[in-house]
Every structure is written in C-alpha cells, then in structure tokens.
C-alpha cells in the first residue's frame, strides 16, 4: 500500500516519507491502516523488532492532529524520549508542534497544553495525571511504545494504570499500543478494546542459529562452517568472520563489566583491519568521548573506539551512548558489546548479533537465570540492516552438544512468552491505590475495585479474589500510615495528597517521615542515608570487603542516622542499612567536591550511575523537604541545605555560587578560592580576578558574569589576575554538575 493511499494522513507526510525512501507501507503497517489506525481506531500492533512500528504510531498521531486533535507518545525510558523527539522534529516544519515532558515529577507541565504531540515516559504521564495537568483530559490519540513492558515488575504497573486512567478520563481516546511479538497479543488487545495486528513479518530475513564447535547450526537445520582458531574465543571468531564480509557485529552480554572486557578484547580483533581514514575518524570520535567526562570509563571507552570497538551500557553518560550509537550506525565502529539496554528501542541494526550470555544474575532468585525468549528475540531482532544486508544473522553460543540442543529448543524454535500483569504486587499497589484515590478516580473501596477492573490485571485474572485481598491489605497499610481515611467512603488525607503528588512510594514517605521525626538536627550524611534506604533509591551493592568497612563506619557514625541502627541479628535489615550507607557515603563524597573519577573508582560505578543517584537523591530530598514542611518539623532548613549540596555537588559555602548558570562545582570552588564567595560578589567582581580564577577562558568568564547579572561582562582588554589562578591544573574545566548524564536504569 502506498502511504498516500492511507486516508486521513496529511499529504506532506507521504511526501516526506518518499524523500526518505519510504514508498510503500510494510505489510503490518498496511494492516494497521486497514484496521483503521488513521481513522481513530485503537490498535495493538505486535510485530518483530525493526519492522516499522514507529511509522504506525506516526500515522496515527499525525492523522489525529490533522483532525484537530492532540497526541501523546509514551516511551519506556527517559533516554528514548529525546530520541523520539528528535525523530518527530521534522513535523515542526509542517506546523505540528512537539514537546517533551521531562524534569520534575511535581511539575504540572502546563506549557505542554499548546503542543500537538507530546512525548513522555509513563512515570511522567502518571505524575502529570496526579498533578492534574489539564491537557490530559483532551487527548485524542495515545501511543504506548514497548507495551510488552507491562510484564515488567518494576515499571509495568505504572504503564498499565496510566493507560487505564487515560482511558477513564478520555473514554473515546484512541490507544495505539506497540509491542514486540508476544505470546498473547490478543489479551492485550482485548484489554484495550483495540483491533489487533499480530504479525511475524520482518523487512529483512532473520536467520537464527547457535554456534557450536566449528559451525553455525541454524534453526532450519542447515549448517555453515565458522572456524574458531585454537587461541581464539568463539565471539572473536564470529566478529572476524563478519568483518571479512564487511559487516558489523553487536554482542549482547549480561553485565557492564562483561561489556567492557569484551569490547577491550574484541578491539584487538578489529584493530588491524581498519584503513587509515577509519582510524582518523575513530580518533576524532574518541576525542569527543574523552571530552564528555574525565572518568576512567570515558578513557576506557575512547581507547576501545580508537581501535574500532565499543561497549554500551546504562553506566555510560548519555552523550557517550549517542556518540557510540552514531559511529556504529555509520559503520565506523565494527563491534559493540552491550547490555540489553541497547536492544530496547534504540535503532542500531548490524549484520550479525551474538547473544553471548543467555543467563543473567538475578538477586531475587539468588543465582543465574535464563533470559526470557522475548528478551532474546528482541536482541536478535537487531540483526540485519534493511537495504544494506542480504539478511541478518543472530547467534547464540553453545559449549557442548547438549547446550546446542537446549539453546535451539529454548530460544531458536521457541515462541515468546505471554505478558502478564504484575499489578497485584504490593509495592505497585501501594503507590497506585494511593494515587488513584488522591486524584479522584475512586472514593470508596467499591469504586477502587471498579477502577481496577479496567486494568490488564483484571482482564487477565478477573474473577479471582487475589485482587480484593491485595487491595484490602494495601488500604490498611495506607490507613495505618495516615495517607488515607476510611469512613463511609475513602479519601486521601492532606499528607496522602502530598505523597501522591511528590510521586513517592508511600513506603518511602513513611520511612522519611519516621526518620525526620526521630531527629531535630539531622546531618547531611544522616539525610543521605535516610533517602538511600527508601524503596525509591536503588542502593549500591556491597562488594566483598564492603561489609566489614561499612559495619565499622555504621557504628562510628551511629549518632548521625535518622532513626535507629538495626541490630546485626536482623540480618537483612542490617544489610540494607549498610548498602544505604555506601550509597550515602557516595553522595557525601559528591557533596564534599570529590572528583567524579575518584568517586567512580571508589564505589565501582560509572559516571552515569553517579548522576543517576544524585538525581534521585535530589528528588527524594526535595520530597523530604516538602514533607518536613507539611509536618512543621524543625529540620526543614537542614534538609534544604543537604538537597542543595547534592544538587550542585558542593560544600555548604558554595551553594549560592554554584547556583549561577554555567558555574557548577569546579568553577564555584575556583571563584571562591579567589575570594569571590557569593553570587552578589560575582555580580560586582573585579573581572581580572574572575578571568584568572576561570583559567583565562574568556568566553566562559563572560557567560558566567552575564548569568550573575554583571553590568558589563565583556572581557575585551581584561588581563587575568595571575594570583587568582587555581593551583590544580590536572583536570578538565567543565562544570560537571551541568552535564546531562542522566541514568536510564539497567534492564
């Protein structure tokens, strides 16, 4: 089907696609149009990775906008929001405005009301609903990307409840749910009252197989020789073989550390085959990578990239990730070793995919667990670049004959699992029941059960008593903690409203309130620890040796804790306390102006992790401040101070200066040491001192003075005061606190 034949789609879009080389619709896209996706019909599209789901969404959104409506595109990861925004930015040339809702959870995002298309994560949409963003009530089209993630225990319930709420406030809304191939797409379509396109069609043939011995054994029974030299690992042999055919390889492994070590090793395989021009361009990319942050991760990544290989995981800064993805798409980087984050939505096709690790450590199960078929198929789906490769190949690796049979059975011939709602788990129930009551979706137990009837959980397990049981336990918990009141009906207390608006897990709120009530003058470490032990913070793991170190530290700093140090006999609580202490110590180092790379090394984390923890701590401390304020506690100023120190990564005395745009933690320290101690002093400062303190960088000095409100920021004819120059000169000059290094979480 030609795009122009799809009714309801604006004419410019067909032209635009044609310019991009897209003439006709792929069969699943044509099926979506026939099912009415451009005429406002709800649709579930369950099709393989890389089969053009985004275009289905675009057709739906643009035809909705063409009819005068507005559309919302829900992405599963924050990092994908900017990627989609970029992708949709061409709409703006044709009068379709696009906005991304990011940032604070408390923000109601009113400015988005004027946008035609809004991109947001499900968490953000959920919080906008809680904060009563008015435009939520007039949506015409809602796209849910990667809807199979409703199966994910962590974020699935939020997506599920958010869709239920959006449909409740907009009964006529069109829902377009995009999913990888799953076992029960029809259930999802039933839940959403949607048409279904369930297809296994791919734009390019995908051959799945298992490498064992000296050959690849394909699912269709054929074999192909692929020799492994005696001193070589199978992955290296596959990369070498692919290169011989001028192709690139994507290798999926199960941990960040494995991604880094695999990339370093594979760089040796790739290096010698690079031509001089490639070396030159790779060196330029490596330089850009080094500029992103002065950490060991940055350095290691740049070293690999110079040799044509890279690693990719959630510990990287977002600029690292996009540089790697671009260079891989341009075929400069020949092999990327990645954790599964790369399989999720980032468009990085390659000739071959190797799923090297098919087991992953699971804390819940206490050991290695096989990945789901759905996950492995999503990784495999990245193989083959349409229009470039004759076909894609996705390979698993077997060590023995039995394993060969097992892998063929388990992944090559297997169908993906069905998705199952995880809503009935307690942590998600706590959060979502409170929010549902607080935002007025239910005012009685019966009303609550009626609302839940619109969820996938009810569609899948309706009629079972489990739901009622969990609802009752959860309501009792919320009532006991003063978040809801039950009389004739059911309503949220003032505190409950605040907790819901702040987007806190009620259990985090309860922990924070208990901790704050236990002490009047908390120290920053005490507060960092308090927020680090809530379920909203992913704590750092304790490594071997950490246990002893942090036990000692816990006793030494016992008076600082908000709340009582648990007894060592309460093993799991004590463990949690120690992990939270490790996280809190990292935040303390950050606020003590320790260099990012020293922190990374000390705690065994990447720059993206530091950013992620800092962001979460800032948010939780902001929430703690609101709660303390609401409860009239004496600790409000202490909490605010601790929050600002984490926000900027500076000592108390620098908070004011570091808040000036463009200053950040390092420059604030340099200015302070040169005698400029406050924003007000900076506004009136002697320009030669500012220039000296900022190491003679005129442009930086001008920007900083302008941001501080200096009357005449120009540095023309200003000579730097050499006495103001900082002593240390070893590290970079970037304002680290200003870098965008948000973590996207690992999955």
Which residues would be at the binding site for ligand ADP (CB under 6 A)? 22, 25-26, 29, 49-55, 347, 386
Contacts of 257 (CB under 8 A, 6+ apart): none
The answer to whether 477 touches 430, Cβ cutoff 8 Å, is: yes
Closer residue to ligand ADP (CB): 73 or 550:
73
Closer residue to ligand ADP (CB): 19 or 231:
19
Closest distance to ligand ADP from the beta carbon of 386 (Å): 6
Please give the torsion angle defined by the CA atoms of residues 564, 568, 570 and 571, in that order, rounded to the nearest 10 degrees: 130
Closer residue to ligand ADP (CB): 29 or 741:
29
Closest distance to ligand ADP from the beta carbon of 201 (Å): 11
Say how many CA atoms lie within 13 Å of 450 toward its Cβ: 9
Beta pairing, strands 392-397 & 206-212: parallel
Judge residue 689's burial from the number of C-beta atoms within 10 Å of its C-beta, 0-12 exposed, 13-18 middle, 19 or more buried.
Answer: buried
Beta pairing, strands 43-46 & 195-198: parallel
Q: Where are the beta strands (DSSP E) in 253-345?
A: 309-312, 335-338
Beta pairing, strands 71-75 & 117-121: parallel
Closest distance to ligand ADP from the beta carbon of 182 (Å): 14
Closest distance to ligand ADP from the beta carbon of 385 (Å): 9
Sign of CA dihedral 547, 548, 550, 554: positive
Closer residue to ligand ADP (CB): 349 or 524:
349
Closest distance to ligand ADP from the beta carbon of 54 (Å): 3
Closer residue to ligand ADP (CB): 175 or 239:
175
Q: Which residue in 371, 364, 342 sits closest to 263, CA to CA? A: 342
Closer residue to ligand ADP (CB): 29 or 635:
29
Distances (CA, A) of 459 to 101, 394, 471, 474, 578: 30, 35, 17, 21, 41
The answer to whether 399 touches 365, Cβ cutoff 8 Å, is: no
CA distance 124 to 127: 5
Closest distance to ligand ADP from the beta carbon of 388 (Å): 11
Closer residue to ligand ADP (CB): 28 or 622:
28
Closest distance to ligand ADP from the beta carbon of 717 (Å): 53
Closest distance to ligand ADP from the beta carbon of 84 (Å): 10
Closer residue to ligand ADP (CB): 54 or 107:
54
Distances (CA, A) of 308 to 271, 564, 707: 6, 53, 41
Closest distance to ligand ADP from the beta carbon of 14 (Å): 11
Sign of CA dihedral 427, 253, 210, 26: positive
Closer residue to ligand ADP (CB): 131 or 341:
341
Q: Which residue in 555, 419, 548, 470 sits closest to 146, CA to CA? A: 419
CA distance 40 to 32: 11
Closer residue to ligand ADP (CB): 148 or 611:
148
Closer residue to ligand ADP (CB): 71 or 407:
71
Closest distance to ligand ADP from the beta carbon of 249 (Å): 19
Which phi and psi (to 5°) does residue 121 adopt?
-80, 165
Helix orientation angle between 426-438 and 156-169, rounded to the nearest 10 degrees? 20
Q: Alpha helices, DSSP H only, in 131-255?
A: 156-169, 185-191, 234-244
Closest distance to ligand ADP from the beta carbon of 8 (Å): 17
Closer residue to ligand ADP (CB): 82 or 688:
82
Closest distance to ligand ADP from the beta carbon of 52 (Å): 3
Please give the torsion angle defined by the CA atoms of residues 78, 83, 87 and 90, in that order, rounded to the nearest 10 degrees: 80
Q: Measured over all CA atoms, what is the biggest interatomic distance in the chain, rounded to whole angstroms?
A: 80
């Amino acid at each position: 089907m030609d795009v122009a034949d799809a009714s309801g789609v604006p004419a410019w879009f067909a032209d635009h696609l044609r310019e991009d080389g897209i003439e006709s619709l792929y069969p699943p896209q044509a099926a979506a149009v026939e099912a009415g996706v451009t005429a406002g019909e709800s649709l579930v599209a369950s099709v393989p990775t890389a089969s053009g789901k985004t275009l289905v969404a675009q057709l739906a959104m643009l035809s909705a906008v063409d009819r005068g409506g507005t559309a919302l595109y829900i992405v599963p990861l924050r990092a994908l929001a900017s990627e989609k925004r970029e992708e949709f930015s061409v709409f703006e040339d044709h009068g379709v405005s696009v906005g991304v809702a990011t940032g604070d959870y408390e923000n109601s995002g009113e400015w988005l009301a004027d946008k035609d298309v809004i991109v947001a994560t499900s968490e953000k949409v959920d919080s906008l609903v809680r904060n009563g963003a008015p435009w939520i009530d007039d949506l015409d089209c809602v796209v849910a990307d990667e809807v199979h993630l409703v199966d994910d225990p962590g974020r699935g319930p939020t997506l599920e409840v958010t869709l239920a709420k959006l449909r409740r406030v907009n009964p006529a809304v069109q829902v377009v749910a995009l999913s990888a191939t799953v076992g029960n797409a029809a259930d999802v379509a039933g839940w959403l009252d949607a048409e279904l396109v369930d297809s296994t069609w791919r734009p390019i043939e995908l051959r799945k197989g298992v490498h064992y011995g000296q050959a690849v054994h394909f699912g269709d029974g054929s074999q192909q020789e692929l020799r492994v030299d005696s001193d070589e690992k199978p992955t290296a042999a596959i990369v070498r073989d692919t290169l011989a055919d001028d192709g690139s390889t994507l290798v999926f492994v199960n941990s960040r550390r494995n991604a880094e070590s695999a990339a370093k090793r594979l760089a040796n395989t790739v290096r010698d085959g690079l031509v001089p021009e490639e070396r030159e361009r790779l060196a330029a990319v490596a330089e850009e990578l080094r500029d992103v942050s002065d950490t060991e991760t940055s350095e290691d990544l740049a070293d690999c990239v110079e040799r044509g290989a890279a690693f990719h995981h959630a510990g990287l800064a977002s600029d690292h990730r996009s540089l790697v993805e671009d260079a891989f798409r341009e075929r400069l980087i020949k092999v990327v070793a990645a954790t599964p984050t790369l399989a999720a939505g980032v468009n990085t096709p390659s000739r071959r995919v190797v799923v090297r690790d098919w087991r992953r450590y699971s804390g819940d199960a206490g050991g290695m667990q096989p990945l789901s078929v759905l996950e492995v198929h999503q990784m495999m789906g990245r193989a083959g670049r349409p229009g470039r490769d004759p076909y894609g190949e996705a390979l698993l690796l077997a060590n023995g004959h039995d394993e060969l049979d097992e892998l063929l059975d388990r992944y090559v011939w297997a169908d993906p699992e069905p998705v199952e709602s995880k809503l009935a788990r307690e942590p998600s129930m706590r959060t979502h029941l409170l929010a549902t009551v607080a935002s007025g979706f239910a005012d009685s137990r019966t009303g609550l059960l009626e609302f839940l009837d619109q969820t996938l959980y009810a569609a899948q397990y309706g009629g079972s008593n489990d739901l009622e049981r969990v609802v009752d336990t959860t309501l009792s918990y919320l009532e006991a903690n003063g978040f809801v009141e039950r009389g004739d009906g059911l309503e949220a207390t003032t505190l409950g409203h605040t907790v819901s608006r702040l987007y806190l897990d009620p259990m985090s709120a309860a922990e924070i309130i208990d901790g704050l009530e236990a002490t009047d003058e908390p120290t920053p470490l005490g507060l960092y620890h308090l927020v680090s032990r809530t379920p909203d913070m992913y704590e750092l793991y304790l490594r071997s040796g950490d246990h002893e170190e942090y036990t000692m530290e816990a006793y030494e700093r016992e008076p600082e804790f908000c709340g009582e140090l648990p007894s060592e006999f309460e093993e799991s609580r004590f463990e949690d306390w120690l992990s939270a202490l490790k996280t809190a110590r990292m935040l303390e180092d950050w606020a003590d102006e320790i260099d990012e790379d020293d922190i990374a090394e000390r705690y065994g984390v990447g720059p993206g992790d530091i950013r992620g923890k800092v962001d979460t701590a800032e948010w939780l401390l902001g929430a703690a401040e609101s709660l303390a304020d609401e409860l009239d506690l004496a600790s409000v100023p202490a909490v605010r101070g601790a929050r600002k120190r984490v926000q900027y990564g500076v000592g108390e005395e620098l908070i004011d200066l570091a808040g000036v745009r463009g200053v950040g933690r390092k420059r604030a320290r340099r200015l302070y040491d040169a005698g400029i101690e406050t924003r007000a002093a900076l506004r009136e400062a002697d320009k030669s001192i500012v220039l000296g303190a900022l190491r003679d960088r005129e442009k930086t000095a001008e920007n900083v003075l302008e941001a501080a409100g200096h009357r005449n920021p120009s540095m023309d004819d200003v000579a730097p005061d050499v006495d103001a120059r900082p002593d240390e000169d070893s590290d970079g000059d970037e304002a680290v606190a200003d870098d965008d290094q948000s973590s996207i979480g690992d999955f």
